[in-house]
Amino acid sequence: MSIASKPSKSAPKAKIAYVCSECGADHNKWQGQCAECAAWNTLSEFVIESAAAGKAAASAGAARRGGWAGKVDPPKVTALKDVTHSEESRVSTGIGELDRVLGGGLVQGAVVLVGGDPGIGKSTLLLQAVAKMAATLPALYVTGEESLSQVAGRGSRLGLPLDGVNALAETSVEKILEQAVATQPRLIVADSIQTLWTESLAAAPGSVSQVRESAARLVRYAKETGTAVFLVGHVTKEGGIAGPRVLEHMVDAVLYFEGESGSRFRVLRAFKNRFGAVNELGVFAMGDKGLREVPNPSAIFLSGSASPQPGSCVMVTREGTRPLLVEVQALVDSSPLSNPRRVAVGMEGNRLAMLLAVLHRHGGIGVGDQDVFVNVVGGIRVQETAADLPVLLAVLSSLRDQPLAEQVIAFGEVGLSGEIRPVPNGEDRLKEAATHGFKRAIVPKGNAPRSGKVGSMEVIAVERLSEALEAI
């Protein structure tokens, strides 16, 4: 159902598709609901190619979209084993945590989308990275949001060496690429992709079609020239980067900047990475000298309260390659509503509902008439199932208004039949907790050492939810 599969042979006419801003799916005609992701009112008109741009892009575009426009020589097939390729060459960004998230440095010709809320520090991070890399990778910093003097002012306030960094205050993709061809940077930063627009489309800058097409131009340039490109993307209130998730398909890596507005810690997470592992975390602290790396972040996501509080449980999560101590907080309160609220911040809401059902069915503890709020401290998002057990312990602790014993950690997946399942890298997690002086750990049996101890920390192995509830 490719839209380009029926090329008009006569006078070229602009081709229109209706693109969902949630999932990026194309539709031939407008409809109220997206047929792919079932979101409502997300389709907007998108001129795929204007009459002028159509011809030039036809051959490349048709191949990309799976259709075949016009009578062009068929492409030549190559045996994959005969394709010459070089090891991807990586350049260190000069920021260890950023390198880590990128999978060991920036790959030449890679296009990296950096998303996050406004004000989280995307521009700061990229300016710092660009300045550090300038000696090896001459850069073009394109700013569509700030003036050149703002960018330069920030650079000098942060004490960054700005030799080798060219800046351009421009939003037209054509002009940006013209400058790129003239100055031959090895790295381009486009801050932000929402401000860019291309002359070949009539739509307004910031619209789905402009964002998509502008990004596509930059991606094409990156692939043709081997220039690395960072695209900065603001996040829509639904959480999708730049509205169209289709950007995520076009780029090589999607990094997401997270953090609580009140906290100075920022987490950079790889959501997609063609050149490295996903879910790798980089941790930064925002200070008056910009973003500082936190190479040893394990205990920064604890609330730091002196004595244990009801409704709080410390877990050891292992996001990426490092164990992190993270505090999960729960508040359980009798609800005035007939349909009590379940609110999860930093974890998945459906998972919380499921865990509460398991707690009722297999732990005999019902919260059907209670509002349940769960929050992961520090604005970090925990996606792994190892959070199940700590979430339930925190809920229970809040329900009973009794703190867990001091210096306890927990982790473990909770199954639908009330079993506690082991999680990967249990030993690492336990060691990390022991290093930080925790005294007891409640963990799945499969993760517990035979001796029942790690260092001086006592490890309590549990197989069923009921055992875990007894253990506290």
38 phi-psi bin (left φ>0, alpha ψ -120 to 50, beta other): left
Q: How many chain residues touch ligand TYD (CB under 6 A)?
A: 14
122 is in an annotated binding site: yes
Strand extents, DSSP E, 73-186: 90-91, 106-107, 111-116, 139-143, 165-169
**Separation of alpha carbons 349 and 342, rounded Å:** 7
Q: Which residues pair with 75 in a beta bridge?
A: none
Q: Which lies closer to ligand TYD via its Cβ, residue 124 or residue 194?
A: 124
Name the residue nearer to ligand TYD (CB basis): 90 or 292: 292
121 is in an annotated binding site: yes
Q: Rule CB under 6 A: which of 229-288 touch ligand TYD?
A: 286, 288
219 in Cβ contact with 248 (< 8 Å):
no
Q: Is residue 232 helix, strand or coil?
A: strand
Least distance in angstroms from the C-beta of 208 to ligand TYD = 21
144 binds ligand TYD (CB under 6 A): no
In degrees and rounded to multiples of 5, residue 277 shows phi and psi of -80, 150
The interface partner of residue 290, options being ligand TYD, Mg ion, none and the CB cut-off 5 to 8 Å by kind, is ligand TYD
The amino acid occupying position 450 is: R
Closest-CA residue to 218 (of 201, 198, 233, 234):
198
Minimum CB distance to ligand TYD smaller for 32 or for 287? 287
Instruction: Report the C-alpha dihedral over residues 59, 61, 67, 73, rounded to 10 degrees.
Output: 10
Nearest approach in angstroms of CB 121 to Mg ion is 8
Place of tokens 């979430």: 391
Single residue of 154, 220, 361, 431 touching ligand TYD by CB under 6 A = 154
**How many positions of this chain bind Mg ion (CB under 5 A)?**
1
Kindly state whether residue 430 participates in binding ligand TYD, applying the rule CB under 6 A: no
Residue 205, marked binder: no
Q: Packing angle between helix 148-157 and helix 122-133, nearest 10 degrees? A: 70
Q: Tell the smallest beta-carbon distance from residue 286 to ligand TYD (Å).
A: 5
**123 in contact with Mg ion (CB under 5 A):** yes
Instruction: Kindly state the DSSP code that residue 157 receives in the 8-state scheme.
Output: H
Shortest separation between residue 17's beta carbon and ligand TYD, angstroms: 31
Using CB distances below 5 to 8 A depending on partner kind, what does residue 152 bind out of ligand TYD, Mg ion, none? none
Which residues ranging from 287 to 306 are in contact with ligand TYD (CB under 6 A)? 288-290
Question: Looking at 10-18, 118-126, 254-262, 446-454, which segment touches Mg ion (CB under 5 A)?
Answer: 118-126
Residue 91's binding partner out of ligand TYD, Mg ion, none, with CB under 5 to 8 Å set by partner kind: none
* CA angle centred on 279, ends 391 and 313, rounded to 5°: 20
The CA-atom distances, in angstroms, between 341 and each of 313, 368, 378, 395 are: 21, 10, 22, 14
393 vs 469: CA distance, rounded Å: 8
Least separation in angstroms between residue 114's CB and ligand TYD is: 9
Cα–Cα distance for residue pair 298/315, rounded to 1 Å: 11
Residue 158 CA to residue 152 CA, distance in Å, equals 10
Which of ligand TYD, Mg ion, none binds 274 (CB below 5-8 Å, type-dependent)? none
Site string for ligand TYD, 104-143 (x = CB under 6 A): ------------x-xxxxxxx-------------------
Which residues are annotated as part of the binding site for ATP? 116-123
Binding site for Mg ion (CB under 5 A): 123
Binding site for ligand TYD (CB under 6 A): 116, 118-124, 154, 158, 286, 288-290
